[in-house]
Chain A
Amino acid sequence: MGKFILRVNMSDLSVKKEDVSEKYRVLGGRALTSTIVAAEVKPTCHPLGPHNKLVFAPGIVTGTTAPSSGRLSVGAKSPLTGTIKEANAGGIPAQKIARLGIHAIIVEGLQKEKGKFYILKLAQGTAVLEEAGQLTGKGMYETNKLIWQKYGEDIGIIGIGPAGEMKMLNAGVSCNDPENGPGRYAGRGGLGAVMGSKGLKAIIVEQKGPGDVAIANPDLFKQGQQKLAKGLADHAVTSQALPTYGTAVLVNILNEAGGLPTRNFSAGKFEGASKTGGEVINEWAKTRGGKVGHACHHGCVIKCSNVVNHPDGTYHVSPLEYETAWAFGANCEIDNLDDIAELNRICNDVGLDTIDSGGTIGVAMEAGIIPFGDGKKAIELLNEVGKGSPIGRIIGNGTAFTGKAFGVVRVPVVKGQSIPAYEPRAVKGIGVTFATATMGADHTAGYTIATEILSVGGKADPLAAAEKGALARGFQTATIFIDSTGYCLFIAFAVLDLPDAFQGMLDTVNGVLGTGYTAEDFNCLGAEWLTLERKFNEAAGFTKADDRLPEFMYYEKLPPHNHVYDVPDEVLDSVHSS
């Protein structure tokens, strides 16, 4: 089956099929969204104006039977950061889009009638825009329910909640999970606001069965699939830890490392950590029902997701992940996991990124709007977002905006995006990634490098700094490659440790594309795509002065280690210039 690109123009409500060029054929996921954004979007454009474009692309192997490969990349110029942006999510839509033969969806223009929303309906051989009607203004839980009632179960849904419709800077893009929950978010960077600015409420994808995804070399693909599946089954992280405890197991681990940001990044250790981590979620799955080892899409063998129930055994939210448990937990000094689950549910419903929402509430607490530790008041405050009240609009615009609104100095953002759940003053290597990622502070942008190679506390000589920078860049290029394949980033645990699993990943990519990529090509391609993103940001006005952590981290010592952030600027500068 030939692949095609769908170009959706919201100004004249046209949907056109385009051929896939050879250049685009070998790209997928983040490489494809960033290449299209770089080619078609003026870097200086207003992210919510007529010249920004929103691009959706499944990964290279998405839609095939490769394990844990159902990721969807969403790209645009970000209204939150002003940089190029790619956020990706699991859930069921990506595989269905790929199986319909759709290589990418490019949404451009703005709807003519202000406040009017549409849905894009995709099925075999058809792609049409319809008025969103009663779905307009609805939260994502009701939106998903109404769509399945009207169009049938197992429909893939990509949508925005009221935060996206109101074009708030922290609005994310929801993808539904196999049970039709809206919790799989391409959350970061305000891409939901871009979707809202174009008047697109949802994309719904009707597709059943394995489809007919073209595989150039089926034998090589099958061989690779088996190697990778074996690696994921053998590795302790992907076969035991993630399905048993989920990512929230990290709450206690980072707490023992003194690196769990607490009370808006004023400490690295949280007294209530034990009440808010993966062990409690695992225990609740036994006592309240719910689930650990939940798969966010069909064919995921890692199953890090979970379903968290209320005390009475009824469904509350899915998934409750580390970043969220931390953002609303330690970061807001809230030690009641039911309150944290409710804050998570509100984000899923209203359509907000949980990391930036937790960062925002932490800053609001710092400002004295509500007290630290008060989960009930945090729930009331976050509920204001969906109402569009003045305070709700401040909160919905994220951490940086809220910090400015209330004159807060300790605002944990890089390029306007909230820092995730690893305190850079305790985990200094990841601070390099937060500072230099093309996306703003992003824990998924690159693995970190250990502190002993960063010359912490000492002045690095220029040559050594260049070597360190190159190493940090290497981790970012590896990540962008995985983000382009459609594999979940968690396969990295296995592929970084097990050479056979790494080869398996490469074999599946080569099998699908008919290419002969080697491990060296893997790095070269990643570097090429990273440079493309970096050039977009430079053209948008970003310089190396933007590649810094927030100033307070350089002068406030963080207990219990009592360190400031002391990685030399030369190292940060050399990440992209060496």
Chain B
Amino acid sequence: MITVFLYGKFRDKVAGSAVGKECFLEMEINEGDTIASVMERLDIAPDDVAHIFLNYQYSTANRKLHHGDRLAIFPIEMSVLYRQYFVKYND
């Protein structure tokens, strides 16, 4: 099980979500699941994503997921961040 926090228009993927509250869903993961495969299951296209954080680390979509992970995904409309701020973890 992992917890996926969604922002901006991705909040619509969670029934009853509201701006001003944390919007998250809990998902079962399978062996070998990556951020990209979970995004695919959520119908989130890679081009539509601005920022991904896995356990508070700025990440590419290639990283493998593990039980208990915290994943956060921001849509392209929220891409306010200087690229130089973080190392992008890629495993």
Contact = CB atoms under 8 A, between A and B. Distances in A.
Interface of A: 236-237, 240-242, 244-245, 247, 249-250, 252-253, 256-258, 268-269, 274-275, 278-280, 282-283, 422, 426-427, 429-430, 447-452, 475, 492-493, 560-561
Contact of A253 (B20, B74, B84): B74
A268 B85 CA distance: 15
A257 B76 contact: no
A249 B80 contact: yes
12 contacts: A237-B79, A245-B8, A252-B74, A253-B51, A256-B5, A257-B53, A257-B57, A274-B20, A275-B21, A278-B78, A430-B85, A492-B82
A447 B79 contact: no
Nearest to B8: A279
A37 B74 CA distance: 44
B77 A241 contact: yes
B22 interface: yes
A154 B8 CA distance: 36
Given A256-B56, A452-B87, A560-B56, A240 B76 contact: yes
Given A240-B76, A245-B78, A253-B80, A427 B86 contact: yes
How would you classify the secondary structure of chain A's contact residues: helix, strand, loop or mixed?
helix
A278 B53 CA distance: 18
Nearest to B74: A253
Contacts of B51: 253, 256
A253 B51 CA distance: 8
A571 to B, nearest CB: 15
B19 interface: yes
Interface string B17-37: 001111100000000000000
Interface string B55-73: 0111000000000000010
A236 B20 contact: no
Greatest chain A CB density within 10 A among B50, B51, B82 is at B82
Nearest to B70: A256
Greatest chain A CB density within 10 A among B74, B80, B82 is at B80
B80 A245 contact: yes
A221 B84 CA distance: 30
B15 interface: no
A59 to B, nearest CB: 21
A383 B48 CA distance: 44
Given A275-B20, A427-B86, A561-B56, A242 B72 contact: no
B84 A279 contact: no
B45 interface: no
Contacts of B19: 279-280, 282-283
B81 interface: yes
A447 B77 contact: no
A249 B19 CA distance: 12
Nearest to A493: B82
A448 B82 contact: yes
Contacts of A253: 51, 74, 78, 80-81
Contact of B20 (A250, A280, A452): A280
A244 B77 contact: yes
A37 to B, nearest CB: 28
A269 B22 CA distance: 13
Contacts of A275: 20-21
A487 to B, nearest CB: 16
Contacts of B84: 429, 447-450, 475
B8 to A, nearest CB: 7
